[in-house]
Amino acid sequence: MTGEELEPILRLEGLTLRYGALTAVDHVDLSIREGARHALIGPNGAGKSSLFSVVAGAVRATEGRVILGGKDISSLNESGRARVGLVRTFQHSSLFLGVSVLDNVRLAVERAHGRPKRPWPMPRTDRVITEKAMSHLGAVGLVDRCNALCGALSHGERRQLEVAMVLACDPRLVLFDEPTAGMSAAETQRFSELVESLPAEITTVVVEHDLDVVFRLADRVSVLAAGRLIADGSPDEVRADAAVKEAYLGKPRSAEPLFGGIS
């Protein structure tokens, strides 16, 4: 194996974020393999969203470095990082509720290719953009909703649409922060299948409280507690880890299965 093959898609070196006296992310060293389905878990307030904010470039690290595909991107802001393929899922506010599902994705495709925004309604003449947008809608299972107004979509469908808009950025690495929050069981199932079905070359990191989803989706799990990385390994290794049990349960209970019915 060459050194290049060994280079992870994302490497965090001593990543630290302090809010005044509070250290939300505490010297985190972490490598994420290209193509991984990686999950980041930890109790409330562990620093998971803070870590994502620093990795995505929304907040500047107090200390440490973020390295994407071997390149130090620590000095890039959020849009600079998106341009080199590191994308965090959009918030709902980035969806235009009053226009169609297809036009939302067309706009994301145009933005990703650096085209100027056009006034609504958008001319339908640019077939290349429309075809790309339709293929992204196909990837997330929303083709038959392409003409619906975005505002008419269910909560789960909006999340699917956000993924289509992320795909428009040609991402190498996508960060999902609690994507299934507020979803029904059926929506959660559909969304998990969608993340699983993304092209293998797109690496995903998911912060998720539903540990059934985590252990179904992830091939690697990292655990944060009080800003520190306390475990990082295969789902089985993490499930068996005494420090992880302690962080979740407050005290070691090595004889008991952790995380619901999964033992």
Ligand X SMILES: Nc1ncnc2c1ncn2[C@@H]1O[C@H](COP(=O)(O)OP(=O)(O)OP(=O)(O)O)[C@@H](O)[C@H]1O
Q: Which residues of 92-130 are buried (b: 16+ CB within 10 A; e: fewer)?
A: eeebeeebbbbbbbbbbbbbbeeeeeeeeebeeebeebb
Interaction partner, residue 47 (Mg ion, ligand X, none; CB < 5-8 Å by kind):
ligand X
27/111 with CB nearer ligand X: 27
- DSSP letters, 165-212, are HHHTT--SEEEEESTTTT--HHHHHHHHHHHHHS-TTSEEEEE-S-HH
CA 37 distance to own-chain centroid? 10
CB of 124 to Mg ion, least distance (A): 40
Neighbours of 27 (CB within 10 A): 15
Near Mg ion by CB under 5 A: residue from 13, 33, 34, 49: 49
* DSSP H helical ranges for the chain: 3-6, 48-56, 78-83, 101-112, 127-139, 155-167, 185-197, 211-217, 235-239, 242-249
CB count in 10 Å sphere of residue 214: 22
Span near Mg ion by CB under 5 A; candidates 42-50, 165-173, 179-187, 191-199 = 42-50
The least distance separating Mg ion from the CB of residue 130, rounded to whole angstroms, comes to 36
Q: Which stretch binds Mg ion (CB under 5 A): 49-57, 99-107, 160-168, 235-243?
A: 49-57
* Closest CB 44 distance from ligand X, rounded Å: 4
Binding residues (CB under 6 A) for ligand X: these are 19, 22, 24, 42, 44-50
Smallest gap from Cβ 26 to Mg ion, in A, equals 16
Partner from Mg ion, ligand X, none contacting 42, C-beta within 5 to 8 A by type: ligand X
Q: Interaction with Mg ion in 202-241: which residues (CB under 5 A)?
A: none
Residue 40 CB, nearest approach to Mg ion (Å): 10
Nearer to ligand X, 181 or 185 (CB): 181
Q: Report the C-alpha gap between 99 and 122 in whole angstroms.
A: 10
**CB-nearer residue toward ligand X: 15 or 140:** 15
Under the rule (CB under 5 A), what is the footprint of Mg ion? 48-49
